[in-house]
Every structure is written in C-alpha cells, then in structure tokens.
C-alpha cells in the first residue's frame, strides 16, 4: 500500500466514514485567506485548534472543518449559524462517538468567527 492508502486504511478501520476520509485526505477548504473579514483561533478541550480553516488537529477536525466550510458557502450569516453539529455529522455520513467533539470544535470556531465579524461590523 502507498502512504495515502495506508492512512486511508487506518482511518477506515478506526471507524471514519468514506466521506470523512476523503475530506481529510483532500484537505477541502484548508488554507489561508488573504485579508479575511474576520477570523478566530479556538482551541478545543482536547488541545486541537481550528482557525478559519486551518487546523492543528486530527482527521475528525479536518473532515468536520471541510464539511462545515462546504456547507456554509453561499449562505447568509444567519443561515450559517443555524447549522448544527448534527448537520455536519450527517454530511460526513456519521462520525465516531469519541470524535463528536471534533465537530464541535469546527462549529464553535465558526460561531466565534461570526461573532468577531459582527463585532467588527458594529465597530467599523
């Protein structure tokens, strides 16, 4: 097996869905944004961090961040805020029980970034 196939296999036997594995391996929406309107760095209780959408974290953090950033495209702030962790988990085709907090990390980071954006709009 290649390195990528080994990782895929390990994630699969760990219980990740095929969708989550693809999001993780393809790094969907991972990277920097030049001149973002707002950003927020949030570290979850496990010590993993998700910022805009860069993450120092596990496959659950990356796949959740990819899924959530895909889901908010084209949505208003109000619509984006209504996306729940369960919606992200559904998009992923499920997630391991011990990885639900990874989805919460993505959701909380988005919430804090949106709050930051709103604060900048008021101040601005």
Q: How far is the CB of 58 from ligand FES (least distance, A)?
A: 4
Residue 96 sits in the site that holds ligand FES (CB under 6 A) = no
CB 42 within 8 A of CB 100: no
* R_g of the chain, CA atoms, integer Å: 15
- Longest Cα–Cα distance in the chain: 54
Near ligand FES in 29-58, by CB under 6 A = 44, 46, 48, 57-58
Which of 33/56 has CB closer to ligand FES?
Answer: 56
Candidate residues 20, 21, 51, 61; the one interacting with ligand FES per rule CB under 6 A: 61
Residue 88 sits in the site that holds ligand FES (CB under 6 A) = no
Residue 67 sits in the site that holds ligand FES (CB under 6 A) = no
Q: Is 41 helix (H, G, I), strand (E, B) or coil?
A: strand
CB 80 within 8 A of CB 114: yes
Binding-site size, ligand FES (CB under 6 A): 10
Contact residues for 109 (Cβ-Cβ < 8 A; gap 6+): 40, 41, 42, 50, 51, 52, 65
Q: Which residues bind ligand FES (CB under 6 A)?
A: 44, 46, 48, 57-58, 60-61, 99, 102, 105
């Amino acid at each position: 097996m290649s390195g990528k196939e080994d990782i895929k296999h390990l994630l699969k036997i760990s219980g990740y869905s095929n969708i989550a594995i693809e999001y993780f391996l393809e790094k969907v929406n991972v990277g920097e944004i030049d001149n973002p309107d707002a950003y927020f760095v949030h570290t979850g209780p496990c010590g993993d961090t998700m910022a805009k959408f860069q993450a120092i974290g596990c496959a659950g953090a990356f796949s959740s961040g990819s899924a959530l950033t895909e889901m908010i495209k084209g949505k208003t702030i109000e619509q984006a805020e209504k996306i729940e962790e369960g919606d992200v988990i559904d998009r992923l085709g499920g997630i391991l029980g011990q990885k639900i907090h990874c989805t919460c990390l993505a959701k909380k980071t988005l919430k804090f970034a949106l709050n930051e954006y709103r604060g900048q709009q008021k101040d601005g």
